[in-house]
A = this chain, B = another copy of it.
Amino acid sequence: MLNNARIEEVLSTLDRGLPQALDRLLAFLRIPSISTDPAHMGDVRDAAEWLCAELAGLGFEASVRDTPGHPMVVAHSPKGQRRALLFYGHYDVQPVDPLNLWDRPPFEPEIEDTPDGKVIRGRGAADDKGQLMTFIEAFRAWKEVHGSLPTDLVLLFEGEEESGSPSLRPFLRENAEELRAGIAMICDTGMYSDGRPAITTQLRGLYGEEIVIRAADRDLHSGSFGGLAANPIQILVDALATIKDESGRITLPGFYAGVEELTNELRADWDDLGFDAAEFLSRVGLSQPIGEKGRTGLEMVWNRPTFEINGLSGGYTGEGFKTVLPAEARAKVSFRLTGSQDPEKIRETFRAHIRAAIPADCSVEFHAHGASPASRMDISDAAFAAAKAALSDEWERDAAYIGAGGSIPIAGDFKEILGMDSMLVGFGRDDDRIHSPNEKYDLQSFAKGARSWARILAALS
């Protein structure tokens, strides 16, 4: 353990250097690294190069590593032997549409004053560029105080997190020796809703699917064909309407195999968080939880699987009206998974359900979009207690063990491929509007996030 005096030096170094740290973050945010959009392929690489140069400037042995998709950035602290900690983040960002709902251009970020304090506004501010820069700034201050980086770090950044991480698993397999560490620190999550620092110890998995149903070989006039010819939108609607029953349960056979009830301990911890579902929903203009009957709000978002229609399109959707029977209809759907639910088995069951709804003269095509199981961490590992204490010190509030409704497949991949547990510490807020217009990251999250990492580094050194 380092002595407290040096930790305080690192923290004051971070405080002094905040304006420069923000300049760096804004420069990073200006790179429109949208990984799902082929038009931004060059920008995604630019973001990787920017990150690599930044890390090399800090003395890391850093490189941009090609994959069949967008590149990885890998960095090591010099002469490291025992790799205690792997840090992970992603430098790609979500698409920005609908662009007209942004109050400012998404890739012209700025520090804004708001009634709740200063925020960093722009696509990627919270997800995940702002978050990954918290630990990079902690390393920078650490080096400034100690004259060198911690000797036991490996850093991994990917550019495909927002597009299903197709290259990640092969990359982990091919570079397992280089990347394996004692534990993975993943900075892509949030604090508990009221700003309480938190370590996320379980994550839902995700299985996504795109469905294309085709009927006639051209758009038809509903006057001539309506009532006689198949309408692919109706077929799609009928098939999707039967996935959930009245009580909110998913009806696919075998779907709940592997779903686990909360331990009494975690149920007590979660109850202690005082989550108010109606209040939580009221922040986005809603009031009623729509999940399975008989479940608490936190169970609904953290510990229960879901089915969601994320996108649907078919027929005429412009101004006015067109009495068309379209040739095709499309949907993008996803399942959030918990416990040990098997995404591949669920994919087969779901596809069979849809196929059974397709008339013989129509066709269906599927496009898989990711399939990752849920993750649950072993919180009996001493590192969890140490990090929890460090977070509590920085924020002057008891840090909490929480769940996350979203998927961070990387945690499952680290476990499966590298045999590593992950610790998920992040400083996002519920109102960060990630994946939505006007994404932001609180300046406090950024500043105290970096300080939190300095404390955790000290506690785990």
Q: How many identical subunits does the complex contain? A: 2
A224-B405, A322-B311, A329-B312 given; A241·B237 CB < 8 A? yes
Decide: B224 and A406 in contact? CB cutoff 8 A.
Answer: yes
| A residues 220-248 in Cβ contact with B at 8 Å | 220-231, 233-234, 237-238, 240-242, 244
| A residues 312-329 in Cβ contact with B at 8 Å | 312-326, 329
A217 at the interface (CB under 8 A from B): yes
Contact among B313, B315, B325 for A332, CB-based, below 8 A: B315
Q: State the CA gap A287–B289 with chains docked (Å).
A: 44
A221-B406, A309-B237 given; A332·B321 CB < 8 A? yes
Min Cβ gap A181→B in Å is 26
Q: State the CA gap A348–B184 with chains docked (Å).
A: 59
A334 at the interface (CB under 8 A from B): yes
Segment from A78-86, A106-114, A432-440, A453-461 that makes contact with B: A432-440
Decide: A304 and B436 in contact? CB cutoff 8 A.
Answer: no
User: Which chain B residue shows the least CB distance to A407?
Assistant: B223
Segment from A138-146, A202-210, A444-452 that makes contact with B: A202-210
Min Cβ gap A189→B in Å is 10
User: Which chain B residue shows the least CB distance to A222?
Assistant: B308
Q: List, in ascending order, chain B residues with CB within 8 A of A301's CB.
A: 224-228
Min Cβ gap A204→B in Å is 7
A361 at the interface (CB under 8 A from B): yes
Q: List, in ascending order, chain B residues with CB within 8 A of A223's CB.
A: 204, 206, 336, 404-407
User: Which chain B residue shows the least CB distance to A369?
Assistant: B321
Contact among B229, B242, B280, B435 for A221, CB-based, below 8 A: B435
A370 at the interface (CB under 8 A from B): yes
Min Cβ gap A355→B in Å is 16
Decide: B319 and A36 in contact? CB cutoff 8 A.
Answer: yes
A278-305 vs B: 1/0 string, CB under 8 Å? Answer: 0011001111111110000100110011
A312-B313, A330-B317 given; A215·B406 CB < 8 A? no
Q: State the CA gap A228–B284 with chains docked (Å).
A: 12
Q: List, in ascending order, chain B residues with CB within 8 A of A219's CB.
A: 435-437
Decide: B323 and A208 in contact? CB cutoff 8 A.
Answer: yes
A254-291 vs B: 1/0 string, CB under 8 Å? Answer: 00000000000000000000000100110011111111
A310 at the interface (CB under 8 A from B): yes
Q: State the CA gap A301–B361 with chains docked (Å).
A: 19
Tier of interface size on chain A: 35 or more
Q: List, in ascending order, chain B residues with CB within 8 A of A297's CB.
A: 228
Decide: A300 and B237 in contact? CB cutoff 8 A.
Answer: no
Q: List, in ascending order, chain B residues with CB within 8 A of A284's CB.
A: 216-218, 220, 225, 229
Q: List, in ascending order, chain B residues with CB within 8 A of A208's CB.
A: 321, 323
Which of A217, A241, A437 has the most chain B CB atoms inside 10 A of its CB? A241
A286-B230, A287-B361 given; A321·B164 CB < 8 A? yes
Decide: A312 and B320 in contact? CB cutoff 8 A.
Answer: no
Min Cβ gap A347→B in Å is 14
A393 at the interface (CB under 8 A from B): no
Decide: A300 and B164 in contact? CB cutoff 8 A.
Answer: no
Contact among B225, B231, B332, B360 for A309, CB-based, below 8 A: B231
Which A residues are within 8 Å of any B CB, using their own CB? 36-38, 94-95, 97, 163-164, 204, 206, 208, 210, 215-231, 233-234, 237-238, 240-242, 244, 277, 280-281, 284-292, 297, 300-301, 304-306, 308-326, 329-330, 332, 334, 336, 359-362, 369-370, 404-407, 430, 433-437
